[in-house]
Structure 1
Amino acid sequence: MITPDGAEIYIADQKDGLILWQDLQEPHGGFSTIRIGQETGSGWTQGEPSRLVFLPEKSYRRAQIVVTDVKFNSIVFIDQLTKRVVRRISDVGFAPRTIVVTPDGRKAYIGSEQPIPTGSIAILDLNHPIPHLEDKRISVPSPEGMAIFGRRLYVATQSGGGNDPVFIVDTVSDKVKSWIPGFAVGCNIAIVPPYGKKIYVARGNYPLSSIGEEKQSPLGVIQIGSWPRYQEKVSQPIPLAFNVPLVIVTKDGKTALVANGDKITAIDTRNDHVVGRSINLSSEADGFAVSKDRVYVWLPNDKPNPRLFTFDLRSAL
């Protein structure tokens, strides 16, 4: 995750229970670390940080980084200025793997994938100095990826017997309004700005077809109609290399970047065509972000050590 001002990058290192962070204005300064975990009866026990989200500054709080901790079924708040853990909220669900914050910073949704095949989305009220969980939970099967546009929360899911839907939740009533079937295996979701007229759904290792010996997986595409009805229309999926776990869209809405296999592929959002050549990676990406035409890719399984791979979007594709 990159902060909105493009100054810092934060990475969840689930294996070692750490948040890595770096000042992007000092790229040769290296990473600093923040431990995620808890004191238990046997001493310090490391957590399993999964997803991160930025919480903007309000009159009653400083800017914070919020992290889901899969091991302790909790979320952790890190003060951006001091880089210290300032709060932990437990019992958000079983295996929380995804989190999003509404554009006004007043509410967060935490998706927990288990117990399979149920899962749930917890609602966190952030409109107070001390955030608290609401009693209500939104029931969806194994939510793995979420994205918000306006008052609509889109949720990519799994455990739907090969027909996993994208659920649409109204963020005012916090009720499921509708769903779009046929998006197995939903891992991640991205909305094309600035008007939110298109959604891309990363569908993991779902097999699409094969070209010779090469397996392929699809990137799902959903067109969104205009206000007030916002009718959804499913478009032809985009075939990519096998395993499509991650998708993001540039701030200008012109390009979608997709992790597929050991590649990063760019998609022109106007016509859903692949742009230029794919960027080959030395191992599969576990996360990536883009800021000011610079793409940052986290490669935790790179040998001999995990590393952050970067390239310029304008010249590389």
Structure 2
Amino acid sequence: MADALAFIPANYESPHPETCAVYVFDAVNESPVPVQTVNIPVQTANSNISALAVAPGGTPVYVLVWPDGATCFLYAINMAEAPPSALVLATPALFASGASPGGTVFSGSMAVSPDGSQVYVADNTDKVFVITTAANNMANVVQVSVGNRPQGIAESPDGTRVYVANSRDGTVSVIDTTTNPPSAVPPSLQVGHEPQGIAVSPDGTRVYVANSGDSTVSMIDTTTNPPSVLPAPVTVGQNPLGIAIAPDGAVVYVAHGDPTDDLYVIDPTNPNTGQIKIPLNALLQNQAFTGAGAVAVTPDGEYVLVLGAPLAPTLPSLLVQIATTGPQKYTVTKTINLSSLADSLLVPQFFGAFVTPPTPVVSQVVSLTFDSNTLALGHSIKGTVRLNEAVVSPGWVTLTWEPLGFATASPAPIPVDPSDGTSLGFTVTAPPTLGPFGDTVGTLYASFGGATVSATLTLEPGADTGVLQAVTVKSPVMVGPNGATTTGTVYLVEPVSGPTNVTVVAVAIHTPKPIKPGTGGPALPVALVGNPVVVPVGQTSETFDILIEPLGATTVYEMTILASAFVTKSTILTLER
């Protein structure tokens, strides 16, 4: 039996530290403990999950969060990530067209196209948002006008049509997704009173609609052009809400809300007489069960799960597993009390479909290369970091040089985004001179996803030596009460192609005439303007100014200026994407 997952949205009330989350359960085994709990990183208090849908293949799981009554944000949970995490898709946020602030209400119904490229969201302002997703962004959003108060959404297996149940006017709108932009196909199809859940058969030839207002299920024949409603609806129990179809199309399951709280099993070839009623309250014996609002079938068809999410906060929310084959056929095989998982938990009346869990893939760094193993001082080189899989959420590749004397500054991490794919390019630039320890061979380490790779780089002098030849100062200088100024010049052996820093140290010596050994006055510090001195590109010398402080006396003294210089040793390999 294939494993399958059930995705249960949960909204928390204060004082719970989180706002909302998605519980992920194994839909087959007996464990009542979720295999994953994915918290939704909302920024606004009192946010609620208002819709959830699972993409084909089981990832991503889309969650619509309604934070403030005016805007809704779409999140994607990547189930292939270990552990799964939710990422809000980039702007724009979703607004109800024509609604005043605080007036947007999403109905709790959402679907994903068979190829996973589009998400359909029902909005209570009589619109369906058709959202094209790409690289964790909402690449395009189109609003399609439908009937009054759209409630349920289902797509055809080939993805060419989307069927929308409109609860207030008792119609089903058909959206043609092959047009650009997608558009509703007139006329709307008249079904029963207050339609809620809607499902399409695996072969795409029938659409089933649960009409909560008149206790019926309407059937739509999609083989006609346009699709047509069959004349005799199927009578079921009071308040049918959720509807699901077995993978082979042989059985239709209808979940009923309060006060019926039953699951009906319908044979579509003989829908009125071929019915089986499963009384959930009786099967659960003494456990309270009400509000059976959602139903889904495992991919192998061997289990049906029904979600009981009562509107009354005093009653528990239950997830019930029912066998469809074998000696336990149509009996409850597992019950999970969702209300016991956390304090102040409210479960909406919908949940995700069941899918075979995807194999978790962890994005890791697998290689680090340079275009060449050598880099001339004052020049740049290209490098590439490669990952085994594209990331599903933004992150950072950490970089470190060794030995420490090779580069006196650690490079900034490389940002990585899902749109980057598996290859991240960057540029390393070397300064004109070596570092303080003179290291010419260094290794760059890149770490991401628990893996670390490295590449070695050798620095070569090239044409830029940055060797100091001399430093001269105009001296002596007559220094009086107002101080004095003079100039100096640094000289390099040859021109450089990159700016070269030269640090100058100078002092002023008071030397009375006649100059005799040992008769000089104390050494006085002097100030240099623009120290270190920067020798421009292509030059071998640069002049600098020296400021000598006043001596604090009325006498004018002759001062000799002594200066020394050295090329600043600070190898900082800059790295940029």
The two structures have a TM-score, normalised by structure 2, of: 0.43
Q: CA deviation at 1:10?
A: 0.9
Aligned partner of 1:8 in structure 2 is: 60
Looking at structure 1, the residues matched to 118 and 161 of structure 2 have their Cα atoms a distance apart, in angstroms, of 14
CA, structure 1 residues 88+197, in 2 after alignment: closer, same or farther (shift >3 Å)? same
Residue identity in the other structure for 1:48: F
Aligned partner of 1:147 in structure 2 is: 199
What secondary structure sits across from 1:10 in the alignment? strand
Q: Deviations over 1:79-116 (max 9, x none)?
A: 222431623234311111111111111111111101xx
Is 1:272 the counterpart of 2:330? The answer is: yes
8 Å CA contact 2:235–2:272 kept in 1: the answer is no
Aligned partner of 2:171 in structure 1 is: 120
8 Å CA contact 1:205–1:242 kept in 2: the answer is yes
Q: CA deviation at 1:267?
A: 0.7
Taking CA–CA contacts closer than 8 Å with sequence separation of 6 or more, which of the two structures ends up with the larger relative contact order? 2
Looking at structure 1, the residues matched to 145 and 106 of structure 2 have their Cα atoms a distance apart, in angstroms, of 15
Looking at structure 2, the residues matched to 46 and 33 of structure 1 have their Cα atoms a distance apart, in angstroms, of 19
Is 1:288 the counterpart of 2:351? The answer is: yes
Is 1:182 the counterpart of 2:266? The answer is: no
Q: CA deviation at 1:73?
A: 1.4
Looking at structure 2, the residues matched to 200 and 4 of structure 1 have their Cα atoms a distance apart, in angstroms, of 21
Instruction: Identify the structure with the greater strand proportion.
Output: 1
Residue identity in the other structure for 2:74: I
Looking at structure 2, the residues matched to 107 and 41 of structure 1 have their Cα atoms a distance apart, in angstroms, of 27
Looking at structure 2, the residues matched to 39 and 167 of structure 1 have their Cα atoms a distance apart, in angstroms, of 30
Structure 2: runs of 5 or more not aligned: 1-52, 282-288, 310-316, 340-344, 359-577
Residue identity in the other structure for 2:253: Y
CA, structure 1 residues 233+196, in 2 after alignment: closer, same or farther (shift >3 Å)? same
Looking at structure 1, the residues matched to 273 and 77 of structure 2 have their Cα atoms a distance apart, in angstroms, of 39
What secondary structure sits across from 1:264 in the alignment? strand
Structure with higher Rg: it is: 2
**Identical-pair percentage:** 23
Looking at structure 1, the residues matched to 101 and 110 of structure 2 have their Cα atoms a distance apart, in angstroms, of 25
Question: Which of 280, 303, 315 is equivalent to 1:239?
Answer: 280
Looking at structure 2, the residues matched to 42 and 265 of structure 1 have their Cα atoms a distance apart, in angstroms, of 40
Q: CA deviation at 1:69?
A: 1.2
Q: RMSD of the TM alignment (CA)? A: 2.6
Q: Deviations over 1:216-259 (max 9, x none)?
A: x211221233xxx8886111233242210111101111111111
CA, structure 1 residues 32+176, in 2 after alignment: closer, same or farther (shift >3 Å)? same
Residue identity in the other structure for 2:347: A
Residue identity in the other structure for 1:203: H
CA, structure 1 residues 53+221, in 2 after alignment: closer, same or farther (shift >3 Å)? same
Paired residues, what number?
A: 269
Looking at structure 2, the residues matched to 102 and 232 of structure 1 have their Cα atoms a distance apart, in angstroms, of 27
8 Å CA contact 2:144–2:183 kept in 1: the answer is no
8 Å CA contact 2:164–2:173 kept in 1: the answer is yes
Aligned partner of 1:248 in structure 2 is: 296
8 Å CA contact 2:262–2:277 kept in 1: the answer is no
Aligned partner of 1:297 in structure 2 is: none
Q: CA deviation at 1:206?
A: 2.2
Q: CA deviation at 1:29?
A: 5.8
